[in-house]
Amino acid sequence: MSTAGTAPSRRDSGAQPRATYQDVLDAPPHRVAEIIDGVLHTNPRPAMRHARASSSLGVKIGGPFDHDAGGPGGWWIIDEPELHLDEDILVPDLAGWRRERMPDFPDAAYCTLAPDWVCEVLSPSTRKLDLHGKRPVYARERIGHLWLVDPVDRTLEAFELREGEWVLIATAEDDAPVRIRPFEAVTFSLGDLWP
């Protein structure tokens, strides 16, 4: 990940104070601000290819699982929710909560209940943070499923949390059919995510 726009690691500069939610609120509106291990990270808004993959996946999953359109329903699927998980503040590209765990949709700027599924769309500026900063937090919070989508390589990797470790359960590329937990009730083409 490029270090441009990203705060130095607190471990590298012992005098750096821990970032707070006020730092997130004070970040420029054209940047995505997150706090991991007390360090503020800001990155540019997603590029078009990234946004297309995320939006399309939200439609493919949100229709049948959030809106009951040809699927089983039972989920809240949200684009870029702000998650406050312990002292960390993360903004995954997509997240989903089973309605049985979160029956009432929160009326707040952020959510403190860890989702059941998250998806990160990898980009050059966020890849390292997504893989090495956010993924351990998702495991710590016992999020059951993590999908990583790479719009450049046109791939999807799906992981399931087992005994605190991420286990790869499926991969797909190009225009392969996708039918992967926790959304295995519906099949869609991975090619629908690419322009």
Mean pLDDT of 160-172: 98
Residue 42's CB: how many other CB atoms inside 10 A? 17
Indicate the domain borders of the chain.
46-193
CA–CA gap between residue 111 and residue 89 (Å, rounded): 10
Percent residues over pLDDT 70 in the chain: 92
Query: What are the percentages of helix, strand and coil residues in the chain, rounded to 5?
Result: 20, 30, 45
CATH class belonging to 46-193: alpha beta
Mean pLDDT of 76-86: 97
The helix/strand/coil state of 22 is: helix
- Average pLDDT of the residues of the chain: 92
15 burial class (0-12, 13-18, 19+ CB within 10 angstroms)? exposed
At 137 the pLDDT is: 98
CA–CA gap between residue 45 and residue 50 (Å, rounded): 10
